[in-house]
Amino acid sequence: MSIHIFGNTPATRPITVKGYCPDCGDSVTFDSLRSVDLTITTHEKGIPQTGSGTCHAGLRSCPGADCHFLVFYIYDPSSGETKFFPPVKISFDKKNLPKKVLQAFEEAIDCFANECFMSTGMMIRKTLEEVCADRGATGDNLFKKIESLKTKVSVPNDFFDGLHNLRFLGNDAAHIESQVFASLGHKECQAGLNVLRMFLQSVYQYKSILEELDSLKS
Ligand SMILES: [Zn+2]
């Protein structure tokens, strides 16, 4: 969303702002602050003489008792879209992830939150490379490394089709035009990150999840 201001007035009614908190990740209705929301008339970039739409903007805080994170929101009534700054990130559990895997995956999520989809695709691929390195999967290209990974991790076989799709996503990100996926945008990257997140859980976290329940037995 790119907003260019043509004019602004104080909003005449309170705006209800809902969404995921960028900090704690909870789905919340944000608290109002003692600041006035703005109703903004926007203009198309490059043609500042004519108003072209209306949106609302202002400050809010997360109602979470341990959070109260400050966000700036922009709400576009015509599309129903609300954007937050800092942007909302996909939440995930960092437990037991090796440092290099975590670093690459966090950067993929940062790129996605900032709508840098080609960079997201490349960092998804980089995360996969780091998992292969961590588990000692070998090969002179990522295809061979993923095939080698089959003998290094205990996950359902279906995952490996998913990993090859992630490899394609990374390849498409490195090319000028997508060659396997129709495009490389929000949907493709979100689906890719979901596959990768579940794979990381299966490789690095399932034991601790099982142990947590086991440890609660008397
Ligand atoms: Zn929060």
CA 168 to mean position of chain CA atoms: 19
Distance 93 CA to ligand 1 centre (A): 16
In the predicted model, is pLDDT for residue 152 greater than 90?
yes
Residues whose CB falls within 8 Å of the CB of residue 179, separated by 6 or more in sequence, listed in order = 171, 172
Taking the model in full, what pTM does it have? 0.75
Distance 64 CA to ligand 1 centre (A): 5
pLDDT one-digit tens code per residue, 67-105: 999 999 999 888 888 999 999 888 888 889 999 999 999
Distance 72 CA to ligand 1 centre (A): 13
Distance 27 CA to ligand 1 centre (A): 8
In the predicted model, is pLDDT for residue 50 greater than 70?
no
Could you give all domains of the chain from N- to C-terminal order, each with its CATH number? Answer: 5-85 (no CATH), 99-214 (1.20.120.330)
Higher pLDDT, 3 or 152: 152
In the predicted model, is pLDDT for residue 179 greater than 80?
no
Give me the residues paired with residue 117 across strands: none
pLDDT one-digit tens code per residue, 97-125: 999 999 999 999 999 998 899 999 999 99
Distance 31 CA to ligand 1 centre (A): 11
pLDDT of residue 213: 84
pLDDT of residue 178: 64
pLDDT of residue 197: 94
From CA 216, how far away is CA 132, in angstroms rounded? 33
Distance 62 CA to ligand 1 centre (A): 5
Backbone Cα Rg of the chain? 21
pLDDT of residue 48: 65
